[in-house]
Amino acid sequence: MFGLDETQWSVPHDMLTWCWLTIIIGFVAARLALRPYRPTTWVMELVMAVMVLEFLCPPILGPFYLNYTPDLLRAMEQMPIVHAEPTAQHVYHIYLQFGITRLTSPLFIPMAALFAGVATAFLYCLDRRARIFLVAPLVWSLTLMARDLYTILFLHYKGVKLCTQIMSIALKEPSLWMPIPLFITVVVYKLLCRTSFTENRIYVICGSICGLCTYAIWPVASWEIWLIAAAGLTMLYGSWMGKWLYRLLEKPTFAGLMRLLLMICVLVPAPLGLVDLCLRWSTPW
């Protein structure tokens, strides 16, 4: 059975993704606490950084994590195991009716910058050396690229049935497999750190560049180029969240932990759950 006709913004789905992230950051916090007794190697810190990136992206992006383009959603909708489930079909109808994809929603550009801000600030606090700060986003990006290219083959997207046919589709539709430009963002951040710019200004500039690259990969409409300014602000806000999260992991407190759990268990899932309910109520079966 596919399950209920819920989008990724529903309370159960949203709490589940935040729960996975909580488990990962709990592991990282425990390993950081052991540093005085057993120092971490750069390999261990790289593994922790990639794990945090992998589990940080789904809860922040919600349905935009996998909803790349309408054509990709239609291909997923036609899979036999999904095509036979009315509840699954309803979910895809919701996504397509309201344009909840990277290629059709103006929400994605600022949300991608928000994720980039949290990730950049967290990684810089964890280890600012290039072997961690730059390599972790690169490894994460390459992993997502490999997964998405395989998805094209798995879905037989536009008749692709052989590995040799993947590149012909990939070159025509980079929106299917290009990752969020996090690697470009951290490279620009690393370069700007050598200038006299203040930290907040650096994050705003990096957010604007992240928004511009995101717009170049998933263009929605010409007017949405103005969302680049919003991306700069959301990345700045995300950087505050990332630094706060790292401070909590490095020196956990009961009050800080309660604030974190209150945020990820109530303050975020509750309003998103209302959005999910409104979308389901207004979409016919």
- pLDDT reported for residue 1: 47
Judged against a pLDDT cut of 50, whether residue 216 lies above it is answered with: yes
- pLDDT reported for residue 3: 62
For residue 164, being part of any structural domain is answered with yes
Helices (H), 104-198: 108-126, 130-133, 135-154, 166-172, 182-192
- pLDDT reported for residue 237: 97
Residues of the chain with pLDDT > 70, as a percent, come to 99
86 confidence band (pLDDT: 50, 70, 90): confident
Please state the rounded mean pLDDT for residues 229-252.
Answer: 95
For residue 78, being part of any structural domain is answered with yes
Residue range(s) defining the domain that contains residue 50: 11-279
Mean pLDDT of the residues in the chain: 93
Q: List Cβ neighbours of 113 (8 Å cut-off, separation of 6 or more).
A: 207, 210, 211, 214, 230, 231, 232, 234, 235, 238
**Backbone phi, then psi, for 198, in 5-degree steps?**
-70, 160
For residue 3, being part of any structural domain is answered with no
Burial class (CB in 10 A: 0-12, 13-18, 19+), 79: middle
What span, in angstroms and rounded, lies between the C-alpha atoms of 12 and 143?
A: 27
Please state the rounded mean pLDDT for residues 140-168.
Answer: 93
Report yes or no: 275 and 9 within 8 Å, Cβ to Cβ. Answer: yes
What amino acid is encoded at 172 in this protein?
K
CA distances (Å), 124 to each of 36, 65, 67, in order? 20, 23, 29
For residue 58, being part of any structural domain is answered with yes
For residue 6, being part of any structural domain is answered with no
For residue 284, being part of any structural domain is answered with no
- pLDDT reported for residue 226: 87
What span, in angstroms and rounded, lies between the C-alpha atoms of 248 and 166?
A: 43
- pLDDT reported for residue 215: 94
Please state the rounded mean pLDDT for residues 217-243.
Answer: 91
For residue 203, being part of any structural domain is answered with yes
Please state the rounded mean pLDDT for residues 49-60.
Answer: 96
SS3 label, residue 36: coil
Please state the rounded mean pLDDT for residues 225-247.
Answer: 94
Residue with tokens 């303050």: 267
Please state the rounded mean pLDDT for residues 237-260.
Answer: 94
What amino acid is encoded at 238 in this protein?
G
Structural domains counted in the chain:
1
pLDDT 10s digits, 174-209? 999 999 999 999 999 999 999 999 999 999 999 999
Residues of the chain with pLDDT > 90, as a percent, come to 83
Residues constituting the chain: 285
For residue 2, being part of any structural domain is answered with no
- pLDDT reported for residue 224: 79
